[in-house]
Structure 1
Amino acid sequence: MIVTGSSPWAAAEALGTSVPELAAFQDEPPQMKSGTVGKTGYLRLGFETRGSRTILAILERRVPYLAQRALYCDQEMPGLASIFLITTTGCLLQGDRLALDIQLGRGAQAHVTSQSATKIHGMDTNYAAQTQAITLAEDAYLEFIPDPIIPHRHARFVSNTQICVAPSATLLLSEILRPGRKHHHPDECFGATIVSLSVAAARPDSRILFREKLVIEPERFAMRQTGVMNTYDVLGNVILCTPPDKADRIFEQVDSDIRLTDGVAFGVCRLPNGAGLIYKVLGRDTAQVKAKVREFWRIVRKEVTGADLPPPFLWR
């Protein structure tokens, strides 16, 4: 359990000291101590319905985390509030601590994404930590689909996502992990020191739905082996929390397959306690994985809201 302190980003600080896989990386950066101003970003987004629209009713921020305003650029869902997450530093460095808090009121609908990929620079001391808290009230709908995570060589990164979702709400949470800058240097492909990603979900009455944790330590465990990544480079992990009747209909529409000639594998299974579905994709390049995630996203949106996806942006 992560105990928060007086500041919102204290949870990110506590996270890195509480997980055993980061016990060896508690030294402080000589450039600037962890947890100082400029290295502790915080962003709180609160969405509420106003008439036929969802508005961004609450916006609290601390650099390097930033969001500007809600956009209404989705022609298929005109009332959907779209937000781009921005980090003014452009990357994560050793000693950085980020905290994100997203809250949706009853019936609110929002799409949250990032300005670009999350790049985690190489580190020789300490680590970067991130906490994410997502809370959905009854009948709320959130698409949280950021761009991929790119851990550079010798990167150390830990992330923890805590979800509180009402039984009638829907959360589509996507996470795409790249192997690094594989075309930049041979040692960049799976060259990170450690990447630790965990997610847990519960109901508003604190009943636990599920937990999942992925720990990647390429220096200790080979990535190019059967049961891990084999010949694949990119992992897509999509969690869908939604009512059981919607989950059943979506499950029937999603394929599971291994296409060796195309270099892609994907599959869907059910989350415990009637929480929803989990969809995983392996691919040799990012475009393949993003395309399969988009297929799943389209099915989810159509089934839950009745709306289709707009055409993808040219730069996506």
Structure 2
Amino acid sequence: MSAQSMNIVNTPSRHRAHTLGKDAPELANYQDEPAQMASGAPGKSGYLRLGFERREDRSVLAAMERRVPSLVQRALYWDEEMPQLPCVTMISTSGSVLQGDRLATDVHVGAGACGHITTQSATKVHSMDANYATQVQCFRIEENGYLEFMPDPLIPHRKSRFITETRISIHPTATMIYCEVLMSGRKFHHVDERFGFDVYSSKVVAENLEGLELFIEKYILEPKKEDLDATGVMQGLDIFGNVVLLTPKEHHQRILERIPALFDLGAGIASGASRLPNHCGLVFKVLGNDSGQVQIQIREFWKVAREEILGVTLSPKPLWR
């Protein structure tokens, strides 16, 4: 693994993490600085850079750079169905996302390489009395590359404000599966925790390697301004799972045929898949009340995607997960 020198202070993703919230209308009322430590100060400006490369019959984590509170473990090869797949776990040394945090991640997958990225546990966004937290993620997947980004759920505490922006640059022959799961909060901790956060804002942009835009999806949740339990939004459910699959068009129809729509509010679960614009891939969304049920639906979509794209199945969920 190389620790290549680069000026991480001036990387575009890290710069964007510091400016993202300043130009976001949904955060206009939360521009005050924390009294304890300034936003983006050392220890609150996390950065990760991961680079996967193909080496003979397997891929490796060939480049890695990190700055607290962001940390990453060494790559492990625990996927029995894909023994060539390096699996990397991201960690936060602060234990949760705090007010004033500015977090940035850059991931590069080289030609013919593959990688799997997850988190050590759920990401908790702590309560805030000032400012907000930002996250910027940039992924670049080269020709015939394959990347799975499957973090554990994000749990926004009451009075938290969090904005995340993800940019995916991908070759037409490559595949990426990107997942985000949003919980309603610590609903068993306090009566005001369920949808008690102030702002959750998420934007995902995909483009080809020349910068031609493929699709944009953005949603802003402000439960104190709009009832998230309304019909057509959460409709009484607590968990939202969003999976973006970018892959060549030849795989789309076969995957859709194996993913039927599900709608059973009595059982507290609903899910479905549809096509993304410009024939770039599919999106799978799931709502539920139980995180285990939501994860089962996501794993089934993930499993089908692997089988239809790679010809290998998904290993059983590890006992430690």
Alpha-carbon distance, 1:260 to partner: 2.4
TM-score (normalizing by structure 2): 0.96
Letter of the 1:95 partner, please give it.
G
Q: Counterpart in 1 of 2:310?
A: 305
Partners of 2:17 and 2:77 lie apart in 1 by: 31
Q: 1:12 aligns with which of 8, 13, 17?
A: 17
2:121 matches 1:95: no
Alpha-carbon distance, 1:166 to partner: 0.4
Q: The residue matched to 2:10 in structure 1 has which SS?
A: coil
Q: The residue matched to 1:299 in structure 2 has which SS?
A: helix
Q: Counterpart in 2 of 1:276?
A: 281
Q: Counterpart in 2 of 1:74?
A: 79
2:239 matches 1:234: yes
Q: 1:293 aligns with which of 290, 295, 298?
A: 298
Partners of 1:101 and 1:247 lie apart in 2 by: 27
Q: Is the 8 A contact 1:5 1:11 kept in 2?
A: no
Q: Counterpart in 2 of 1:141?
A: 146
Q: The residue matched to 1:186 in structure 2 has which SS?
A: coil
Q: Counterpart in 2 of 1:169?
A: 174
TM-score (normalizing by structure 1): 0.97
Alpha-carbon distance, 1:5 to partner: 7.5
Partners of 1:283 and 1:80 lie apart in 2 by: 30
1:256-267 → structure 2 map (5 Å cutoff):
256-267=261-272
Alpha-carbon distance, 1:196 to partner: 0.3
Q: State, as a whole percentage, how many aligned pairs show the same letter.
A: 50
Letter of the 1:154 partner, please give it.
K
Q: Deviations over 1:226-273 (max 9, x none)?
A: 011111100000000000001121111111120122110001110000
2:147 matches 1:121: no
Q: The residue matched to 1:247 in structure 2 has which SS?
A: helix
Q: 1:84 aligns with which of 84, 89, 92?
A: 89
1:168-187 → structure 2 map (5 Å cutoff):
168-187=173-192
Alpha-carbon distance, 1:306 to partner: 1.1
Q: Is the 8 A contact 1:243 1:275 kept in 2?
A: yes
Partners of 1:118 and 1:5 lie apart in 2 by: 24
Letter of the 2:230 partner, please give it.
Q
Give ranges in structure 1 of 5+ residues lacking alignment. Answer: none
Alpha-carbon distance, 1:24 to partner: 1.1
Q: The residue matched to 1:293 in structure 2 has which SS?
A: helix
Q: Tell me how many residue pairs correspond in the alignment.
A: 313
Moved over 3 A (4+): none
Q: 1:65 aligns with which of 70, 73, 78?
A: 70
Partners of 1:253 and 1:227 lie apart in 2 by: 25
Letter of the 2:282 partner, please give it.
L
2:47 matches 1:38: no
Partners of 2:228 and 2:122 lie apart in 1 by: 22
